[in-house]
Structure 1
Amino acid sequence: MSYSTEPVSTPTSARSTRNRGTSVKVFLVIWLLLIGIGIAATYWYSHHLQQSMLSALDAKWQAQTNAIKADYNSKLSSLSNEVSQLDSKVQSFNELLTFTKDTASNKTDNSNKLYTQLAEVKKQLSALQSKMDLLK
């Protein structure tokens, strides 16, 4: 038996190059598919976070708006009560003033005092009315 010292050339098979080419293509397709899934998941998650933040802010703003409305209504009702009380005082002073004008003589100066008191009450009433208008 004689062995040859020359190297035997083995032809490269077409099959191995074809396998390498398809495995690279499969790898690239899977890689691109994973990148697409990652982008889609990122978009979905950011949209979900945005919606949850908007709903939380909406709930917070609704609570603050309700608190402001309740405060406004309480202030408005208290001012309305004060205006009605002052109006009743003005009416009683007006009746008293009418009575004193009818019964006043030239010697007394009570009517001037009542006019002064009535003017002060009217000033207070107009100030409360302006505050009430500002609240409206």
Structure 2
Amino acid sequence: MQPSTEPSGVYPRRNTARNGSSVKWFLLFWVLVIAAGGYGTYRYTHQLKSQVLEQLTVQSQQQLAAVQADYDRKLSALTAEIGELQTQVQTFNELLTFTKDNANTKTDNSNKLYTQLAEVRKQLDALKKEMDLLK
């Protein structure tokens, strides 16, 4: 028998309601899967961001504490050095006063004391400048 090319009038009946419903459920399932994946990605990135910010905060605080400790150490060292220089200046001033009172003419000793006093004053000024820079 030869197949007929003419329509026979009998077609298999499709259940269009059932096929349309399964496609809708399939698409709905994939939309829900995609939405859940997007939400999961958002939550994960938010969590990572929070962790990174927390770590950066801790590192920043540690570095700031180290810088503060170094600053305090340098400042206390400079303060002690300035105190020592001021003591030396006072001692030189007293020695100069004593030398002036006991000397009738200018001697080499008094010139040396004036020179030493000038050097100490220069050092004191330099240290004060460094201390002002640290502040």
Letter in 1 for 2:45: S
Q: Aligned-pair distance for 1:108?
A: 2.9
Inter-partner Cα distance in structure 1 for 2:77 and 2:12: 103
Q: How does 1:1-136 map to 2 (within 5 A)?
A: 9=10, 12=13, 16-106=15-105, 108-136=107-135
Inter-partner Cα distance in structure 2 for 1:109 and 1:23: 114
Residue-pair matches, total = 128
Assess, with a 3 A threshold, how the Cα gap between structure 1 residues 107 and 88 changes in structure 2: closer, same or farther: closer
Inter-partner Cα distance in structure 2 for 1:69 and 1:81: 18
Scaled by the length of structure 2, the TM-score of the pair is: 0.89
Letter in 2 for 1:61: S
Scaled by the length of structure 1, the TM-score of the pair is: 0.88
Inter-partner Cα distance in structure 1 for 2:33 and 2:118: 84
Inter-partner Cα distance in structure 1 for 2:22 and 2:114: 106
Inter-partner Cα distance in structure 2 for 1:55 and 1:21: 51
Structure 1: runs of 5 or more not aligned = 1-6
Inter-partner Cα distance in structure 1 for 2:108 and 2:23: 114
2:5 aligned partner: none
1:3 aligned partner: none
Q: Tell which deviates more after alignment, 85-94 or 106-115.
A: 106-115
Deviations 1:26-58 (A, max 9, x none): 100111011111111111111111111011011
Inter-partner Cα distance in structure 2 for 1:23 and 1:41: 27
Inter-partner Cα distance in structure 2 for 1:132 and 1:61: 25
Q: Tell which deviates more after alignment, 61-70 or 99-108.
A: 99-108
Structure 2: runs of 5 or more not aligned = 1-7
Inter-partner Cα distance in structure 1 for 2:45 and 2:12: 55
